[in-house]
Structure 1
């Protein structure tokens, strides 16, 4: 689902962009500084987080506390870093109308909109409000004790993981959908993922890749001791539950790998669609398929075509801003001028 850009900004009002930066690398800091300077020249107020302000040293920036009010009234939360930085920024943007826009400076950066080489185009799009906003399904989590009382809760953009607390023991679980028991088994854990998170932890655990505009929730067991323990794709309006028998192993809940809770003995974890989606800004017209090819380095030629020296017909000569290198190839006999082959994004070892 998408909508036109302009976020929380309205014509005639002051525009604000909040920066969320991985300040542990000087190259990232320098790119954030130069981007902030350009936004300021365009009349856009730049905000920086209180715990990052000293490292960034951006003169004239508005310093805000890293809490739920940080992105209030901002149009964009611009993220400089990898997926970890993006997920941290999502916590700030969640309760505002701001849209997240990421510049990938990590290893994969699947959530990011662009690579550093195309950041000037991205800044131009922000200045001109030439971007669209995707609404991504998020999930809310309730941790419930044996007596039925809610004792904890959180949310996630990617996934919620219910995992065993003791590595030496198997976690016994009962899976329910909409309050009805479905199956039970022993396992290392259970993942509840969104389509956005289908290419993250859930993908590594053997779950399906789900296009982000598909509204659904995923349930992916990890290392289950059962015949019927396949990944499930359910309605976005379903309530997915995992119950932990009181005589079983203890469990912990982790949301996006950032927020964790213990599950009480004999407790239950309920996962449902969040009332508020997460908004992600897009500038470049790359499809989700393009993103998969670029981020995972997928082969786009058939096995017979690999033996040839020219790209297969599946490849398009257009530039892919998600890829870090574009290679010109010599013309093949009888095939006209040279073409460009877009290769998958190279991994940055310093995420």
Structure 2
């Protein structure tokens, strides 16, 4: 078995996790190829001494890899998706953070869950992504023009609201007068969109969510639409620029820019272990069913 390993280092939370992972994989003769910058950190911290093969870009990841291991929180997995891209390599998230919906393996059960991986006792959950395009030049996004969670437009250099004129498949929907607008995938429905009052979608739902951020017109509600819909946004405001974000990547766009958002032709494959399903994660993270009387 051959795995790519990528992660973030936090001394108090990830060091024991990293050691457990390396011990387990070495014991089971799993070939590990480590992200170059992550490996340098591990050497500097004295966590490992052995030499490993490395990768530093998405072009070095191919079908010879059985899995991509992400160590950190949900943000780490979103960055991992920019490395995996169209390769189809399944991503397994090992949670070193707190409230996470993507990282399915918890730090208390690493060895047991990694044994499931060795024995191939897991399923693949394909996740929809969104692409962004515009006739206007968007500085800072380069070739990573897709998002796994959401694409968001928001105000930049002002406290004044912006107007987001929205069309769906060419038909006018609404002009949102708000701090911004979120277009979320089912994966992203438990992120920023949920914090702004949007609904939760299960990962297999073929839908997207449009959620306004602090709308001035209070009758503007989150809207669920088919994921094959092409969304056109025209953003205007008092300042010369607004912000657009693709997950954690942020860029500045000129006022009156027109953005096109639609589903990508490829998906990201997330590993789901039977003992840690999406519904179980919802119950645990959102404390559903908890009752102080009990």
In the alignment, is the contact (CA less than 8 A) between 2:162 and 2:237 conserved in 1?
Answer: no
**Structure 1: runs of 5+ lacking an equivalent:** 1-14, 310-351
* CA shift for structure 1 position 102: 1.1
Find the counterpart in structure 2 of residue 236 from structure 1: 227
The worse-fitting range, judged by mean Cα deviation, of 42-51 and 71-80 is: 71-80
2:25 aligned residue (19, 33, 39):
39
* CA shift for structure 1 position 182: 1.1
* TM-score, normalising length: structure 2: 0.89
State the superposition RMSD in angstroms.
Answer: 2.1
| 1:55 matches 2:46 | no
In the alignment, is the contact (CA less than 8 A) between 1:170 and 1:187 conserved in 2?
Answer: yes
In the alignment, is the contact (CA less than 8 A) between 1:171 and 1:250 conserved in 2?
Answer: no
In the alignment, is the contact (CA less than 8 A) between 1:87 and 1:256 conserved in 2?
Answer: yes
In the alignment, is the contact (CA less than 8 A) between 1:144 and 1:264 conserved in 2?
Answer: no
| 1:85 matches 2:85 | no
Q: Deviations over 1:1-52 (max 9, x none)?
A: xxxxxxxxxxxxxx31111121132541342233123213322210111111
Distance 2:3 2:113 in 1: 13
| 1:265 matches 2:251 | no
Distance 1:134 1:96 in 2: 15
| 1:134 matches 2:131 | no
Find the counterpart in structure 2 of residue 19 from structure 1: 5
Distance 1:44 1:222 in 2: 45
**Structure 2: runs of 5+ lacking an equivalent:** none
Find the residue that maps to 2:14 and give its secondary structure.
helix
Distance 2:237 2:15 in 1: 49
Q: Deviations over 1:81-136 (max 9, x none)?
A: 11111211121122322111111110112111121111111211121222111101
* CA shift for structure 1 position 276: 0.8
Distance 1:286 1:54 in 2: 31
| 1:105 matches 2:96 | yes
* CA shift for structure 1 position 246: 7.7
Find the counterpart in structure 2 of residue 285 from structure 1: 275
| 1:210 matches 2:201 | yes
- Residue 295 to residue 181, structure 1, CA distance change in 2 (3 Å): same
- Residue 262 to residue 144, structure 1, CA distance change in 2 (3 Å): farther
Find the counterpart in structure 1 of residue 162 from structure 2: 171
* TM-score, normalising length: structure 1: 0.76
